[in-house]
Amino acid sequence: MMRDRAGHHLTEWLTAAHATDLPELQLFVVGIRSDLGAVTAGLTLPFSSGAVEGQVNRIKMLKRQMSGRAGVDLLRKRILLTR
């Protein structure tokens, strides 16, 4: 489903996965069904938030490194100047 962008098969897979005897998999199915529209769109549409997530991860790492060392002004400058 993920490689072929076949999100339209998700409901069939969820039904089969919920019918198993694995409680962890059944709980996973319940979680997916709570936001079925977003998961289906993520498996179907060609858009990705990978670039944004990468930037957020970079900023979090900078923030962790500078924790307790400097103020917000220096952190802001490092975020804007580091790429």
Segment holding 30, helix H or strand E: helix 23-33
* Two structure tokens written together for 40: 């289906």
Determine the pLDDT at residue 17.
95
C-alpha dihedral sign at 60, 61, 62, 63: positive
Determine the pLDDT at residue 2.
82
Determine the pLDDT at residue 27.
96
Show Cβ contacts of residue 39 under 8 Å, excluding neighbours closer than 6 positions. 7, 10, 32
pTM of the predicted structure, to 2 decimals: 0.59
In the chain, how many H helices and how many E strands? 5, 0
**Average pLDDT per consecutive 10 residues, the chain (83 residues; last block may be shorter):** 89 95 96 95 89 89 82 84 74
Where are the chain's structural domains?
A: 7-44, 50-81
Determine the pLDDT at residue 14.
96
- Per the listing, tokens 């100047």 go with 81
